[in-house]
């Protein structure tokens, strides 16, 4: 048990018997009123998003989770297939559980994954990742109307808005949370 | 912004006042933690002093003394709140009290103030006219809870559970259960196109605003979804004020005995002072937040010169 005030982003909680990961936590003090914690939680099993507001003194049932490395093998359009690098055991999780992760994960790459017992709760995508540009439209000369940006598609299929000087075959660093371009990466 | 605010109130014959920031007594508010310090002097007994969480403790004395409508821009201090995009423990508050006015008159005055502050760059969510909703309407529209029919905590808790919230079985106040619902389903989803006056708060939320049936004559102003101001039609009935003082002080002492936070004394004559005020409506407005929104910024750190978070790094 922990106090709701100690909950952080990433804390795993058991709510009505189901594991949830805290994806957003905000302290709120209503105009007249004691301290509350506003939580946004995600169920790794179903992808369900839940909103909860707890008094900072409320008890919450936290669960012990463990990080293990998994190699991302591929997706078949329905599920992600991953392999635990320590036991070579393969696991399959519905893609709907981690929406849009197929655009962020690279085939063959190893990711830290959060497990509760045998259940995969979270695939930890690093906050900044370098991607190869697979497709980039040619910049139109003199086109500065859009603040001189254009869309490119990465090796993983992620569409990112970038400055017009970025070309196909180049690498860029992307903020994986906001999906925004950070900088060009020189080889 | 400061110049425009001063010129607005000066032009309407409000007197600008400058009251102490250090005070030996405070108005009891169990949910606001204080900063305490000591006055030490070799010839006098040592005295505990508090940084005021709002200048109202002195401003209301002036109103009771017949100073008329007054305003003040001052630094205020609240302890134990988080440091974040919309909070800094030291902040700038604008308080204005209008005599012979109620909270509805204060809406019109505040709209005029916002009109005076707006320029060509001002976003729509700060531009008058204000939208208006009562807490009852907002709660009904955004989550289908009819507050007037759930005046008992147990029945409101059943509504909260129906909406999927976890309400522990330990006893809690109606206000706490209300806040679970309000903070999850109402406040984050309030309409944000225009400034919003959220009016008539439930009477169970104890404060020094006039009570009218199950509601209080109190509103909060939201701009872009951020709480900017709080307004009361100030309570003046001695028995109600004394009741508030003793109940709230008891809550405060219980809470702070547990937490070990400082307990400010209350002035035993203050209830009499408040009861001596003429009819008056007071507004307290967070100016750092207002400036942040006027400048189209996302956090107080972008408008405060030295936010505490960066000072502590």
Tens digit of each residue's pLDDT (9 = 90 or more) over B196-211:
999 999 999 999 999 9
Average pLDDT, integer, range A67-76: 94
CA distance B199 to B136: 9
Contact status, residue A120 vs residue A114, Cβ threshold 8 Å: yes
Provide, rounded to the nearest whole percent, the portion of chain A with pLDDT above 70.
95
Percent with pLDDT over 90 in chain B: 84
Kindly determine whether residue A36 and residue B168, on different chains, have CB atoms separated by under 8 Å.
no
Task: Tell me: ipTM over 0.85.
Answer: no
Q: Is the pLDDT of residue B63 over 70?
A: yes
Enclosing domain of residue A108: 66-124
Residues B227-249 pLDDT 10s: 999 999 999 999 999 999 999 99
Q: Which helix (H) or strand (E) holds A171?
A: strand A171-175
Pair (A50, A77) in one structural domain: no
Alpha-carbon distance A120 to nearest alpha carbon in chain B (angstroms): 24
Please determine, for residue A29, whether its predicted confidence score (pLDDT) is greater than 90.
no
- Identify the pLDDT of residue A121: 84
Kindly list the residues from chain B whose CB atom is less than 8 angstroms away from the CB atom of residue A26. Answer: 84
**In a shared domain, residues A71 and A32:** no
Task: Give the H/E segment covering residue B25.
Answer: none
Q: Say if residue A141 is in the same domain as residue A162.
A: yes
Q: Which residues of B touch A50 (CB under 8 A)?
A: 164
Lowest mean pLDDT among A12-21, A83-92, B169-178: A12-21
Q: What local confidence, expressed as pLDDT, does residue B112 receive? A: 98
Q: Are residues A73 and A117 in the same domain?
A: yes
Q: What pLDDT, on a 0 to 100 scale, did the predictor assign at position A120? A: 87
Sign of the Cα pseudo-torsion (B83, B300, A36, B206, in order):
positive
What mean pLDDT comes out for the span B27-55?
93
Are A113 and A144 within one domain? no
Reply yes or no on whether the pLDDT at B268 is more than 90: no
Q: Specify the number of domains making up chain A.
A: 3
Element (H, E) at B63: helix B56-64
Judged by CB atoms closer than 8 Å, whether chains meet at B166 and A54 is answered as yes
Task: Identify the domain boundary among A124, A149, A172.
Answer: A124
**What residues are paired with A25 via a beta bridge?**
A39
Q: Is residue A15 scored above 90 in pLDDT? A: no
Cis peptide before B129 (omega within 30 of 0): yes
Instruction: Dig out the tokens for B280 from the structure.
Output: 């008056």
Helix orientation angle between B2-11 and B103-117, rounded to the nearest 10 degrees: 130
pLDDT digits (tens, 9 = 90+) for A41-54: 988 777 788 889 99
**pLDDT reading at B216 higher than 60:** yes
Q: Do residues A117 and A83 both lie within one domain?
A: yes
- Give the three-class secondary structure for B250: helix
B84 secondary structure, DSSP code: B
Mean pLDDT to the nearest integer, A141-167: 82
- My answer on whether A142 and A172 are in the same domain is yes
pLDDT digits (tens, 9 = 90+) for B80-117: 887 888 999 999 999 999 999 999 999 999 999 999 99
A80, two tokens: 């992600």
- pLDDT class of A143 with cuts at 50, 70, 90: low
Dihedral sign (CA B172, B175, B181, B184): negative
The correct answer on CATH 3.30.930.10 for the domain covering B2-130+236-312 is: yes
* Mean pLDDT, rounded, for B52-66: 96
Q: Answer yes or no: do B205 and A32 touch at CB < 8 A.
A: yes
Residues A153, A141: one domain? yes
Pair (A120, A71) in one structural domain: yes
Q: Please provide the average confidence, as pLDDT, over all residues in chain A.
A: 88
* Same domain as A93, residue A48: no
Nearest Cα to B187, choosing from B147, B222, B228? B222
Q: Is the pLDDT score of A186 beyond 90?
A: no
CATH, residue A142: 2.40.50.140
pLDDT > 80? residue A31: no
Lowest mean pLDDT among A134-143, A167-176, B33-42, B155-164: A134-143
pLDDT at A34 over 90: no
Least confident piece of the model among B71-85, B135-149, B190-204, B281-295: B71-85
Contact call for A52 and B184, based on CB within 8 A? yes
Determine which helix (DSSP H) or strand (DSSP E) holds B105, and give its type and residue range.
helix B103-117
Q: Are residues A164 and A138 in the same domain?
A: yes
The pLDDT tens digits for B146-171 are 999 999 999 999 999 999 898 988 88
Overall average pLDDT of the A156-171 stretch: 91
A53 and A6 co-located in one domain:
yes
Q: Kindly tell me if the per-residue pLDDT of B1 is higher than 70.
A: yes
Chain B residues bordering chain A (beta-carbon distance below 8 Å) = 29-31, 80-82, 84, 87, 164-166, 168, 172, 175-176, 179-180, 182-185, 187-188, 201, 205-207, 220, 227, 230
pLDDT at residue A142 is higher than 80: no
Backbone angles phi, psi at B215, to 5 degrees: -125, 165
Buried b (16+ CB within 10 A) or exposed e, A141-157: eeeeeeeebbebbbebe
């Amino acid at each position: 048990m922990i106090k709701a005030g100690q909950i952080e982003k990433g804390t795993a909680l058991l709510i009505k018997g189901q594991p949830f990961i805290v994806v957003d936590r905000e302290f709120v003090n209503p105009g007249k009123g004691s301290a509350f914690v506003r939580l946004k939680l995600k169920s790794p099993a179903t992808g369900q998003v839940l909103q909860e507001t707890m008094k900072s003194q409320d008890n919450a049932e936290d669960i012990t989770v463990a990080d293990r490395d998994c190699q991302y093998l591929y997706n078949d359009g329905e599920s992600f297939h991953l392999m635990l690098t320590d036991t070579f055991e393969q696991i399959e999780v519905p893609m709907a559980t981690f929406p849009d992760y197929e655009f962020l994960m690279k085939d063959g790459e190893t990711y830290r994954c959060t497990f509760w017992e045998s259940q995969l709760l979270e695939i930890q995508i690093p906050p900044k990742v370098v991607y190869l540009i697979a497709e980039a439209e040619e910049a139109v000369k003199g086109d500065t109307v859009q603040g001189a940006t254009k869309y490119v598609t990465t090796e993983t299929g992620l569409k990112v808005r970038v400055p017009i000087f970025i070309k196909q075959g180049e690498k860029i660093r992307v903020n994986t949370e906001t999906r925004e371009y950070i900088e060009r990466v020189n080889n | 912004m400061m110049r425009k605010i001063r010129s607005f109130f000066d032009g309407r014959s409000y007197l600008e006042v400058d009251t102490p920031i250090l005070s030996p007594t405070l108005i009891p508010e169990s949910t606001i933690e204080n900063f305490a310090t000591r006055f030490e002097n070799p010839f006098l007994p040592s005295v505990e002093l508090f940084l005021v969480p709002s200048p109202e403790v002195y401003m209301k004395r002036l109103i009771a003394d017949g100073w008329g409508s007054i305003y003040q821009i001052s630094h205020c201090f609240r302890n134990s709140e988080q440091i974040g995009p919309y909070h800094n423990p030291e902040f700038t508050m604008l308080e204005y009290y209008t005599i012979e006015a109620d909270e509805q008159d204060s809406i019109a005055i505040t709209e005029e103030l916002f009109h005076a502050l707006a320029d060509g760059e001002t976003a729509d969510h700060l531009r008058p006219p204000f939208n208006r909703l009562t807490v009852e309407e907002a709660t009904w529209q955004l989550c289908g809870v009819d507050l007037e029919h759930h005046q008992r905590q147990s029945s409101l808790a059943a509504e909260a559970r129906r909406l999927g919230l976890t309400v522990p079985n330990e006893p809690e106040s109606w206000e706490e259960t209300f806040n679970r619902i309000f903070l999850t389903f109402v406040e984050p989803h309030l309409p944000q196109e225009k400034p919003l006056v959220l009016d008539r708060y439930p009477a169970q939320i104890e404060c020094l605003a006039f009570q009218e049936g199950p509601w209080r004559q109190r509103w909060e102003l939201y701009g872009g979804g951020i709480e900017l101001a709080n307004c009361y039609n100030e309570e003046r009935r001695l028995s109600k004020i004394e009741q508030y003082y003793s109940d709230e002080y008891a809550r405060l002492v219980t809470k702070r005995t547990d937490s070990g936070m400082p307990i400010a004394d209350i002035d035993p004559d203050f209830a009499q002072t408040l009861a001596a005020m003429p009819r008056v409506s007071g507004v307290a407005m967070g100016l750092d937040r207002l400036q942040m929104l006027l400048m189209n910024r996302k956090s107080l750190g972008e408008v405060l010169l030295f936010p505490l978070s960066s000072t502590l790094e």
